[in-house]
């Protein structure tokens, strides 16, 4: 059965880190809209340049554009056996559009809950690879080179400025938190304590998915 997962959570909640682990463990793609936009920005396309300006200010791109990007990505063959969505949906209209794209396909929704003070601290310390966008494990000894590709570890532009960090949390509260109400009533929604060490979060995530997958596929255990 295809495993389709949406990872919800504020910036720096660990969505990206956990999505990579889960995608590797299940051999399904991690689809991160932030990574897609950062790649476009690095490539210098019109979309990329527009996206970079918004990302650097902590603002969101428009729903229609994001839905178009995700619809195209989910239509590729490697998404047939499932995927982990990281960073999408980020608004209720995006979630509605995703429901439309999925039709009756099962969807597991996991929220990583982390208090604001911890998020601000994490954003300040977070290092990502400037080449392949890998995220350094929280709490890892910071190295100059990426463990995956050897690229330079840098601070993300949207993590670097205190006002932008605060603004991203405000945008999250206004635009993305309503997603919790949108999904909360579903049997395949679960909130996890994302303030734990990454290994504990990963274990909780696997346990939640194993508990919810049969419900998602219609087999209620």
Closest residue to bound ligand AMP by CB:
34
User: Does 168 participate in catalysis according to the annotation?
Assistant: yes
Helices (H) and strands (E) in the chain, counts: 10, 7
Q: Note whether 67 binds ligand AMP by CB under 6 A.
A: no
Shortest Cβ 153–ligand AMP spacing (Å): 16
Catalytic residue among 21, 38, 52, 126: 126
Tokens of 109: 């929704």
Residues written for the chain: 221
Is there binding between residue 126 and ligand AMP (CB under 6 A)? no
CA distance 47 to 141: 35
SS3 label, residue 104: coil
* Residue 157 in the binding site for ligand AMP (CB under 6 A): no
- CB under 8 A, 24+ apart: contacts of 89-93: 89/6, 89/179, 90/33, 90/60, 90/66, 90/175, 90/176, 90/179, 91/60, 91/63, 91/175, 91/176, 91/178, 91/179, 92/178, 92/179, 92/182, 93/63
- Residue 186: active-site member: no
> How near is the Cβ of 191 to ligand AMP at its closest, in Å?
18
* Closest to ligand AMP by CB, 11 or 14: 11
Which CB, 1 or 64, lies closer to ligand AMP?
64
Two tokens, residue 185:
């009533």
| Under rule CB under 6 A, residue 54 binds ligand AMP | yes
Do the strands 189-193 and 30-32 form a parallel or antiparallel pair, or are they unpaired?
Answer: unpaired
Residue 55 near ligand AMP by CB under 6 A: yes
Stretches 17-25, 87-95, 123-131, 193-201: which one binds ligand AMP (CB under 6 A)?
87-95
Report helix, strand and coil shares of the chain as percent, to nearest 5.
50, 15, 35
Which one, 37 or 74, has the nearer CB to ligand AMP? 37
Rounded least distance, CB 211 to ligand AMP, Å: 26
User: Does 84 engage in binding with ligand AMP (CB under 6 A)?
Assistant: no
For ligand AMP, the binding residues (CB under 6 A) are: 11, 33-34, 37, 54-55, 58-61, 66, 87-88, 90, 94, 158
């Amino acid at each position: 059965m295809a495993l389709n997962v949406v990872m919800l959570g504020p910036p720096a909640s660990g969505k990206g880190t956990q999505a990579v682990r889960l995608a590797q463990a299940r051999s399904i793609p991690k689809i991160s809209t932030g990574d897609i936009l950062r790649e476009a920005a690095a490539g210098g396309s019109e979309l990329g340049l527009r996206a970079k300006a918004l990302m650097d200010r902590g603002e969101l791109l428009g729903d229609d554009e994001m839905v178009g990007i995700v619809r195209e990505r989910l239509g590729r063959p490697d998404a047939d056996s499932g995927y982990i969505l990281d960073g999408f949906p980020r608004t209720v209209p995006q979630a509605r559009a995703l429901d439309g794209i999925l039709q009756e396909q099962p969807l597991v929704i996991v929220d990583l809950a982390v208090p604001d003070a911890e998020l601000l601290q994490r954003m300040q310390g977070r290092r990502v690879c400037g080449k392949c966008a890998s995220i350094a494990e929280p709490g890892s000894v910071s190295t100059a080179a990426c463990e995956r590709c050897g690229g330079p570890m840098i601070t993300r532009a949207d993590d670097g400025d205190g006002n932008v960090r605060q603004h991203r949390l405000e945008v999250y509260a206004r635009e993305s938190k309503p997603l919790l109400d949108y999904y909360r009533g579903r049997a395949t929604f679960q909130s996890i304590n994302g303030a734990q060490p990454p290994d504990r979060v990963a274990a909780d995530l696997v346990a939640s998915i194993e508990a919810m997958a049969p419900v998602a596929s219609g087999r209620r255990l």
